[in-house]
Structure 1
Amino acid sequence: MEELISYIAKSLVDDPDAVQVKRSDEDDTVTLELTVAQGDLGKVIGKQGRTARALRSVLAAAAEKENKRSRLDIVE
């Protein structure tokens, strides 16, 4: 899952080397922390959060295959 989110985020930003994804598992929930360069934060969030919402939807679909819940945190 983290590779998927990392790939999508790197495709969106100007500085793909700054993209980092950290995973933490708790019971049946997977939490991913996405970190990007400060200038690319708006590109990952999108207008009115649409891009972030789409990322979360893709993550939820990937997590469902593993019978887990998912959470995506975009860190400044």
Structure 2
Amino acid sequence: MQQLIETIVKPLVDYPNEVKITCDENNHRIVYKLSVHPSDMGKVIGKQGRVAKAVRTIVYSAAGNHRGKKIYIDILD
């Protein structure tokens, strides 16, 4: 999943080397935390959050029922 998120996000930003994704996993959920350069934040979120919502939709669809756990994507400041 991390590679899928990177593949989607890196072409959108001006500083692809600063795209960082960490994964926190517990019993019931998996949280992917996305961090980008501050000037790229708007590009990843998009107008009214449309880009972020589209990224989440693609990842959720690709994950399906990922080992019985819910998947979340957080975009960090």
TM-score (norm 2): 0.90
Q: What is the 5 A alignment of 1:1-76?
A: 1-66=1-66, 67-76=68-77
How much has 1:6 moved relative to structure 2? 1.1
How much has 1:68 moved relative to structure 2? 2.7
Q: Contact 1:63–1:69 (CA<8 Å) still a contact in 2?
A: no
TM-score (norm 1): 0.91
Q: Distance in 1 between matches of 2:16 and 2:7?
A: 9
State the one-letter code of the partner of 2:72: R
- Percent of aligned positions that are identical: 39
Query: Which 4+ stretches in 1 moved above 6 angstroms?
Result: none
Unaligned residue ranges in structure 2 (runs of 5+): none
- When the two chains are superposed, the root-mean-square deviation of aligned CA atoms in Å is 1.1
SS at match of 1:30: strand
Q: Distance in 2 between matches of 1:18 and 1:45?
A: 16
